[in-house]
Amino acid sequence: MIAELGLAALWMAAALAALQLAAGFLAARQDDAEIAILVRPAAVVQGVLCAFAFAMLVWLFARTDLSVKLVAMNSHSDKPLVFKLAGAWGNHEGSMLLWVTVMSAAGALIALVERRLPDRTMQATLAAQGFVALGFYAFLLFSSNPFERLPIPALEGNGLNPLLQDIGLAFHPPTLYLGYVGLSVAFSFAVGALLTRQVTPDFARAMRPWVLGAWIFLTVGITAGSYWAYYELGWGGWWFWDPVENASLMPWLAATALLHSASVLAARDALRAWTIMLGVVAFSMSMVGTFLVRSGILTSVHAFAVDPERGTFILVLLAIYIGGALAVFGLRAGSVAEGGKFEAVSREGALVINNVLLSAILGVVLLGTLYPLLTEAMGVRVSVGPPYFDPVGAIFVVPMLLVMLVGPLLRWRQDRLARVRRSAIIGMVAVLAGLLLAIALGAGVLPTLGIALGAGLAVASVLPLKGRRLRRVPLATRGMVTAHLGIAVALLGMASESAFSEERLAAIKVGQQASVGPWQVTLAAVDPVAGPNWTALEGVMLASYDGGAPIELHPQARSFWSPPQETTESALATRWNGQLYAVLGKAADGERWQVRLWWKPFVTLIWYGGLLVALGGLLALLGRVRDDLRRRYVTRKAAERREAAA
């Protein structure tokens, strides 16, 4: 009954999406007030129904209802409750339902709160949102029904991939989806504004919180995913240029560019066509990401759906939406004037360079990700990995970071480099100091560049606060400073990890010692332990930093039984200046055990940096929303006063 309720709600939500599309389109074309009043309620009810359907699915997983195919395939009665719940979206159908749920909830929210845009643009936007949602409802209902029943209920479920039974990963997909789907709102805004040719600063202001929100979630999702890979895969790597990782990086790059160009549009009424284009590209990257992960075209931990029919379906959706949006763009872009003028040396000028370079980086990642798939289709398998992405990416990243040093210091419209000369010199001194330090420590070429530019950016990023009273600095500016500082911090972490990590592989008996960097690690014991659905060998390691008091570490080698799989649970000892990473391997000859130890100086800066970037986004979002609310309050008061006067 629960499954049927969910399915019925999903069908009704799809019907409302169709209504939203038709009514929104007609209203935007004919300015018909009677049809127009349908649009917003349709979006709201659609959101509620879809959320209801998703809640039903979570409930089925919570109860482990084994008569539902999806539950039987992906859950198990022995699983801890939190992973039962997370299992609802840890599979193809459930995650697509989550995607549509977030999307329709976002549509409902804009229908409820957005009052700034002209009515026609708003209706066109909601029509576009309904159009995109409709495609995904069709996908769910026709090829990925999450509520399908089994003819005979299963006796026990298949379980969830043990690698995914981790609290970090349980919440990793929803976070990324919030990001992906937030960009669908930016896409709808872009299409709506393009259809009614009203690409205005107000449009940028309406779109910006959505882009910011999506961008924050993507940042957190990527940061968390990277940390998960780091501690769960057991070899200390934190980024692999895996297509699935790239699938989340590409929308982030596009959203970063969009965020900056929307700021130019909001503040200066310039870069209109470019902003629209990026809005289309950003969501396209979300769809490409979804296609890569969901189609099974990559065989990877994330690609659970091995079914070409679904891949084709997503590809068709992708072609319709992106092709459609680009066609509208091609037809209308000419009639959208470029807007405000500015000089090369100006805030806009720096942001244009940033935008172009970010787009080029996006192009490199896209090429490196898709090209191997293309050659594979032609029968030639090639691998594209760090030796390609690192140097080729650096060609574009280095100039972008250099522009980042001075860009935020420049004035809008027109400025002179001479005015920011002193700040630029401070930044360059920091770059030079970093460069000398890295060379003295013997880092490689790319890490040296990373340390030099990271040091320069860390200093330069806070310079916009110089000479200002901190309490009077707008939240959005503080957000920008925080986010730029976060980039610098993450960059320093990456460079340090890659240049100064030390590795120690050893086969030792219980009671023996191994050392790595400044750490001495004693294997005190190896004990069997058991969890709810696994058993493990747990090492007890006593790790002492530079002869200090020892810390106890408990790395595990786990064996899951449903489905059977072995995983390593690394143990980490975090200090301010880095992390000790310990893994218990297999038994070596006789009584000896394989242990793997790494000392990774300042590695944690990578994720602290990521979190700072997200925090910066949050500050900016709060600042923008507060300004909006204040403006709304002021206009309402003014209107009331006028009414009272009349």
Partner 1 sequence: MRALAGLLLVLAALPLAAQDAMPPAPYAYRQLEDPALEARAQGLMETLRCLKCQSQSIADSDAPMAGDMRHQVRTRIAAGEDPEAIREWMMERYGDYVSYAPVVSRTTWPLFAGPLVLLGIAALLIWRRFRRSA
Residues engaged in binding partner 1 (CB under 8 A):
233-235, 237, 240-244, 298-301, 341-344, 349, 352-353, 356-357, 359-360, 363-364, 367-368, 371, 375, 378, 380-388, 392, 395-396, 503-505, 507, 528-532, 535-537, 559, 566, 568, 585-590, 594, 596
Q: Token pair 């980086």 is at which residue?
A: 361
- Classify 298 as helix, strand or coil: coil
Q: Is 644 exposed, middle or buried (0-12, 13-18, 19+ CB in 10 A)?
A: exposed
Residue among 395 and 429 whose Cβ is closer to partner 1: 395
How far apart CA 360 and CA 166 sit, in angstroms, is 35
Identify which of residues 352 and 573 has a Cβ nearer to partner 1 in the complex: 352
Nearest approach, Cβ of residue 301 and partner 1 (Å): 6
| Comparison of 522 and 559: residue with beta carbon closer to partner 1 | 559
Q: Which of residues 392 and 462 has its CB atom nearest to partner 1 in the complex?
A: 392
- Minimum Å gap between C-beta 246 and partner 1 is 10
Distance, in Å, from the CA atom of 646 to the CA atom of 642, rounded to the nearest integer, reads 6
Q: CB nearer to partner 1: give 103 or 597.
A: 597
> ω before 563 within 30° of 0 (cis)?
yes
Q: 382 burial class (0-12, 13-18, 19+ CB within 10 angstroms)?
A: exposed
Closer to partner 1 by CB, 146 or 368: give it. 368
- Among residues 186, 217, 184, the alpha carbon closest in space to that of 204 is found at 186
Residue closer to partner 1 by CB (options 70, 404) is: 404
Of 532 and 547, the one with the shorter C-beta distance to partner 1 is: 532
Nearer to partner 1, 388 or 412 (CB): 388
Q: What DSSP designation does 160 have?
A: -
Q: How far apart are CA 456 and CA 476, in angstroms?
A: 22
CA distance 60 to 397: 47
Q: Side-chain half-sphere of 6: how many Cα atoms within 13 Å?
A: 25
Nearest approach, Cβ of residue 306 and partner 1 (Å): 13
Name which of 644, 498, 526, 508 is nearest 588 in CA terms: 508
Considering the complex, state which of residue 117 and residue 536 has its C-beta at the smaller distance from partner 1.
536
DSSP state of 380: -
C-alpha dist (Å) from residue 103 to 180, 255, 302, 457: 9, 17, 21, 36
| 257 vs 463, beta carbon nearer partner 1 | 257
Nearest alpha carbon to residue 205 among 638, 614, 625, 633: 625
CB of residue 530 vs partner 1: minimum separation in angstroms? 2
Helix H or strand E segment including 348 = helix 347-377
Q: What is the DSSP letter of 463?
A: G
Is the torsion defined by CA of 158, 161, 165, 170 positive or negative?
negative
Is the CB of 52 or the CB of 240 nearer to partner 1? 240
Question: What is the rounded distance in angstroms from the CA atom of residue 583 to the CA atom of residue 181?
Answer: 37
User: Could you tell me the smallest distance in angstroms from the CB atom of residue 348 to partner 1?
Assistant: 9
Least gap, CB of 357 to partner 1 (angstroms): 6
Residue 384 vs 480, nearer CB to partner 1: 384
Residue 178 CB, nearest distance to partner 1 (Å)? 25
* Min CB(235)–partner 1 separation in Å: 4
Q: In the bound complex, what is the minimum distance in angstroms from residue 294's beta carbon to partner 1?
A: 16
Q: Is the separation of the CB atoms in 111 and 126 below 8 Å?
A: yes
DSSP category for residue 68 = B
How wide is the angle at C-alpha 584 spanned by C-alphas 580 and 587, nearest 5°?
150
Residue pair 557/584 in contact (Cβ under 8 Å)? The answer is yes
Q: Shortest approach of partner 1 to residue 531 CB, angstroms?
A: 8
Spatial separation of the C-alpha atoms in residues 498 and 153, rounded to whole Å: 51
Using CB atoms within 10 Å of the CB of residue 4, give its burial: 0 to 12 exposed, 13 to 18 middle, 19+ buried: exposed
Distance from C-alpha of 486 to C-alpha of 490, rounded to nearest angstrom: 6
Residue 258 CA to residue 276 CA, distance in Å, equals 9
CB of 240 to partner 1, least distance (A): 5
Smaller CB distance to partner 1: residue 18 or 536?
A: 536
What CA–CA distance (Å, rounded) separates 491 from 380?
Answer: 35
- Judge whether 471 and 612 are in contact, CB under 8 Å: no
Q: Residue 242 Cβ, how far from partner 1 at the closest point, in Å? A: 4
Min dist. Cβ of residue 275 to partner 1 (A): 14
CB of 21 to partner 1, least distance (A): 35
